[in-house]
Amino acid sequence: MEKVDTAAIAAPVGRNAFGPAASKLRNLPPFIPACAGNVLWGFSFLFTRMALQAASPEILLSVRFVTAFLFMNLLILLGKGRVSLRGKNLKPLIVLGLLEPVYFFFESYGILYTNATLAGVILAATPVVSIVLAAVFLKEYPLRRQVLFCLFPVAGVIVITVCGSSMGIASALGLVLLFCTCLISAASKTLNRRVSRDYSPFERTYMGLLAGSVVFTLSAFRSVGGDFGKYFDLALQPRVLGPALVLGVFCSIVAGIMVNYATGKMPVVKLTTFGAISTVCSTFAGVLFLGEPLSAALFAGSFLIVVGIWQVTRI
């Protein structure tokens, strides 16, 4: 695999590749959109929990991705975004888009056959796997200091997750699915970094939402036996549609574009550590809005995450 030209990656794909907001985003240091995007993803669990009280995960994911995809097309019609695929190699972009629903599939069934606690522990290893893949395929070699401090967010996530609940019983199938989830997440970050040379953050986000819309909607219709009326009855409930709109617009589009932008500007070793912020935000959100208990482990884990990210991203 040839060495990636980092200058080519960092170069903007197009002046108006994703609308007037592009110029404002380009003026920000990449760690800001990376951090902001993961904060939004962290709070997504609140709205997901709200919607799951009224509909199944298949219905929620379908509504979330379809509404986000429709909103992206509205942005294109209004001249606020652009998708230009002519003359480009589409295969990497298609693969990147398909990794989105594949990740959700492995994660969901991995948790089903284990538990959320064990899933959090295993998925915390994603930064380590990402570093290995980036070194192999992108020739991005981390400093020893970065490798060391990259383990801090991993440890922080494990502390928060394990202390939050018991490990419970796990099956071999569940463990395999979770390890596959970890690998897919790392592969997605690595491929996203490579694809960023040719495609804008808007285009990469668009493809992910397109793939998710198709896959999750087919899955949703399968779950209701192909009954269109039942699907729309569930999807159009205010308790489902409201949270899905928030998840689609802010967590899928805004957060997606922010993190995809940062992907083209930051080495994988730096970008991947920001994922731990989602764990901190989701946990504190549970404390603030759902009345979940506050523990010393939460502060200890958060401290490890912050120190790790600070040291890894330090020039």
Q: What is the pLDDT of residue 315?
A: 55
Residue 105 is assigned to a structural domain of this protein: yes
Q: What's the total number of domains in the chain? A: 1
Residue 220 is assigned to a structural domain of this protein: yes
Q: What is the pLDDT of residue 104?
A: 87
Residue 305 is assigned to a structural domain of this protein: yes
Task: Name the stretches of the chain with pLDDT < 70.
Answer: 1-27, 115-118, 164-170, 315
| Cα 58 to Cα 216: distance, rounded to the nearest angstrom | 6
Q: What is the pLDDT of residue 59?
A: 95
Residue 6: closest CA among 134, 197, 147: 197
Q: What is the pLDDT of residue 25?
A: 63
pTM flag (> 0.85): no
Q: Cα-flanking dihedrals φ and ψ of residue 228, to 5°?
A: -60, -40
Q: What is the pLDDT of residue 296?
A: 85
Q: Which domain holds residue 109?
A: 29-313
The C-alpha angle with vertex 203 and arms to 202 and 206, in degrees rounded to 5, equals 85
Residue 16 is assigned to a structural domain of this protein: no
C-alpha separations of 126 from 95, 107, 284 in Å: 19, 13, 22
Question: 264 burial class (0-12, 13-18, 19+ CB within 10 angstroms)?
Answer: buried
Residue 20 is assigned to a structural domain of this protein: no
Q: What is the pLDDT of residue 285?
A: 84
Owner of token pair 């997605």: 188
The string of pLDDT tens digits covering residues 165-179 is 555 556 788 888 888
Residue 15 is assigned to a structural domain of this protein: no
